[in-house]
């Protein structure tokens, strides 16, 4: 009888295991490159033909992965991509890195995970390690995924191995990327955890094993809930300070001088990205099933969700103080990515701000060196030259503080500026209105 555990360990340790990654986005593609760099042959699977074609040409569409980092592995045959799930029959490990959005009702949309697992299960074979990396609620791996793979009579921990390892990708972070971000991994059984940890140790700097998939699933939710609630707190503080005429940025800087017991968070125009605005609601949904109300999460979500409205009110009031109505005014948005120096607009508060400005009758344009076009309310908007946008605008609003923007020139040329990011810190002018 084949000892699948020992055989898989041997393949992983001598790097003969054929690695598969399902979902080739911000999480999956960096993982492909890291395991190829470690000497493994890697096959990427994605339902989008355009992504598959780009990878097979050696071209990267992910900002954190330069084409120069991907192309050599494609050329050498270490990396290839396909839309055909039948390649699963030749894989030894499979990382699932598909989206996990929320529905409008704030409950988890598991369709991407379910669809991926159904396709994998059609070609699944003994001796395979399956790791879910998509952020989800505690219990997903063993309650939703495991039964789909045990239908064929295979036994987890003996015939195949299943883990959860939360992705911790921070797009645009020059210091912490896939290789050096500590990798948490928890398995269904101790054997699953051991082989999952062994797998990641081949390519990543630090691996942190935990006792179960539920612990690993909760880790990611704690991390992002911590950030979401603290951002909600400081956003509420910004609303308070605005009413009382206090500079919230000065308050935060002064509080940050305390060397213990305090960690600075900063207010902004709203939450963006695929994680922080979404992940805590997976936990809220799950706890409701257990009869527990996640009050901090719900309250922080409400406050953060109100920030785009607060920003638009701020713009309207600033224009009013300059004897102009918002309706009919030209408003130029600086930055539409959800954070500085990246090209990702997922859940970006800029999209909400543009929508709200449009509803109030403003004529909106935008500039962003990383985002050439966006879809706002079903209409395609193209970025325009900063100088042209600023010169024609009645009000400029800094939504994303990209380093490429010339803020000195902005202050010189703009008629009125609403700064939601404290990008103009240290610059004093009557034309600047701060969050």
> Other CB atoms closer than 10 Å to residue 47's CB: what's the count?
16
Paired strand residues for 405: none
Are 87 and 50 within 8 A, CB to CB?
no
Q: Give all domains of the chain, ordered by start, each with its CATH number.
A: 4-213 (3.40.50.720), 227-434 (3.40.50.720)
Pairing assessment for the beta strands 161-164 and 79-82 based on DSSP bridges: unpaired
Joined together, the tokens standing for residue 307 give 């920030």
First-residue to last-residue Cα distance in the chain: 67
Are 248 and 267 within 8 A, CB to CB?
yes
pLDDT by residue for the chain (435 residues), tens only, comes to 469 999 999 999 999 999 999 999 999 999 999 999 999 999 999 999 999 999 999 999 998 999 999 999 999 999 999 999 999 999 999 999 999 887 777 778 889 999 999 999 999 999 999 999 998 889 999 999 999 999 878 999 999 999 999 999 888 888 999 999 999 999 999 999 999 999 999 999 999 999 999 999 999 999 989 999 999 999 999 999 999 999 999 999 999 999 999 999 999 999 886 666 677 787 888 888 888 888 888 898 899 999 999 999 999 999 999 999 999 999 999 999 999 999 989 889 999 999 999 999 999 999 999 999 998 877 889 999 999 999 999 999 999 999 999 999 999 999 999 999 999 999 999 999 999
DSSP 225-237: HHHHHHHHHHHHH
Query: Which DSSP letter does residue 387 get?
Result: H
Q: Give whole-number Cα distances, 14 to 7, 10, 19, 130, in Å.
A: 11, 6, 13, 19
* CA dihedral sign, ordered 297, 298, 304, 305: positive
Which phi-psi region, left, alpha or beta, contains residue 100 (left: φ > 0; alpha: ψ -120 to 50)?
beta
Reply yes or no on whether 275 is catalytic. Answer: yes
State the Cα–Cα distance between residues 159 and 169, nearest whole angstrom.
Answer: 31
State the Cα–Cα distance between residues 22 and 266, nearest whole angstrom.
Answer: 35
Mark out the alpha helices in 245-278 (DSSP H runs): 248-255
Paired strand residues for 208: 184
Q: Against a cut of 0.85, is the pTM above it?
A: yes
pLDDT at 310: 96
Joined together, the tokens standing for residue 287 give 């706890």
State the Cα–Cα distance between residues 325 and 361, nearest whole angstrom.
Answer: 9
pLDDT at 218: 93
Active-site residue, selected from the candidate residues 97, 241, 275, 395: 275
Q: Please choose, from the candidates 84, 93, 89, 101, the residue with its C-alpha nearest in 3D space to the C-alpha of residue 46.
A: 84
DSSP 71-131: HHHHHHTSEEEES-GGGGGG-SEEEE----PBPTTS-B--HHHHHHHHHHHTT--TT-EEE
């Amino acid at each position: 009888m084949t000892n699948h555990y020992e055989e898989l360990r041997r393949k992983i340790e001598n790097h003969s295991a054929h690695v598969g990654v399902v979902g080739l986005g911000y999480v999956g593609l960096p993982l492909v490159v890291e395991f190829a760099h470690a000497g493994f042959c890697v096959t990427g699977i994605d339902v989008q033909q355009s992504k598959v074609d780009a990878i097979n040409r050696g071209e990267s569409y992910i900002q954190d992965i330069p084409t120069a980092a991907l192309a050599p592995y494609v050329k050498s045959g270490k990396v290839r991509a396909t839309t055909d799930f039948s390649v699963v029959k030749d894989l030894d490990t499979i990382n699932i890195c598909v989206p996990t959005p929320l529905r409008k009702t704030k409950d988890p949309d598991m369709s991407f995970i379910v669809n991926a697992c159904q396709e994998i299960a059609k070609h699944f074979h003994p001796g395979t390690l399956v790791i879910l990396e998509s952020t989800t609620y505690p219990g997903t791996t063993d309650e939703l995924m495991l039964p789909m793979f045990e239908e064929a009579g295979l036994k987890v921990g003996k015939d195949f191995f299943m883990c959860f390892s939360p992705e911790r990708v921070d797009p645009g972070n020059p210091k912490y990327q896939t290789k050096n971000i500590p990798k948490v991994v928890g398995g269904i059984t101790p054997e699953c955890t051991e082989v999952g940890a062994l797998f990641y140790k081949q390519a990543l700097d630090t691996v942190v094993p935990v006792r179960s998939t539920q612990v690993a699933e909760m880790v990611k939710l704690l991390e992002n809930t911590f950030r979401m609630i603290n951002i909600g707190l400081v956003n509420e503080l910004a609303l308070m300070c605005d009413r009382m005429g206090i500079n919230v940025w000065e308050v935060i800087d002064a509080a940050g001088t305390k060397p213990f017991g305090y960690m600075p968070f900063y207010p902004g125009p709203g939450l963006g990205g695929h994680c922080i605005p979404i992940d805590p609601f997976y936990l809220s949904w799950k706890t409701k099933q257990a009869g527990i109300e996640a009050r901090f999460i719900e309250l922080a979500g409400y406050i953060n969700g109100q920030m785009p409205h607060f920003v638009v009110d701020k713009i309207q009031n600033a224009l009013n103080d300059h004897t102009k109505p918002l309706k009919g005014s030209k408003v130029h948005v600086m930055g539409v990515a959800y954070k500085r120096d990246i090209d990702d607009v997922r859940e970006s508060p800029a999209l909400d701000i543009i929508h709200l400005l449009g509803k109030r009758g403003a004529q909106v344009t935008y500039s962003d060196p990383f985002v050439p076009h966006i879809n706002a309310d079903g209409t395609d908007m193209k970025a325009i030259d900063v100088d042209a946008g600023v010169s024609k605008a009645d009000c400029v609003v800094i939504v994303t503080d990209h380093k490429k923007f010339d803020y000195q020139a902005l202050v010189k040329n703009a008629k009125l500026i609403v700064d939601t990011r404290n990008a103009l810190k240290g610059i004093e002018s009557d034309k600047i209105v701060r969050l």
